[in-house]
Amino acid sequence: MFQRVELQDNDEFIILACDGIWDCLTNEEAVKFVRERIDIKTPTDIGVEMLDEIVSKDPRETQGIGGDNMTVMIVDLQPLKRPYRDSSNNTPETKVTE
């Protein structure tokens, strides 16, 4: 079942992720994770950090949790407001044009 959601002016970001991510994090945990970093790191860096934190070092020990395929994409809906844009480490893939 699909549900249409209209974005609001105060929406900050969208997290698109496969089920492996949601096996490890609740919606609230994922939103908190991104929200704590979105003003100081690029969406790409946040996604890499998220994966680094939740991928299991030994899936047998965690009964497979953190060992599934994992993909995450974070879409910043307010990139022009972010301080990270002013840093010198902007790369072509993270640079936003107006």
Residue 60 DSSP code: T
pLDDT class for 68, splitting at 50, 70, 90? low
Q: Which residue has the higher pLDDT, 70 or 13?
A: 13
CA angle 64, 73, 7 (to 5 degrees): 125
- Helix, strand, coil tally for the chain in percent (to 5): 35, 10, 55
**pLDDT at 8 (0 to 100):** 95
Instruction: Please determine, for residue 87, whether its predicted confidence score (pLDDT) is greater than 70.
Output: no
pTM: 0.74
Other CB atoms closer than 10 Å to residue 76's CB: what's the count? 20
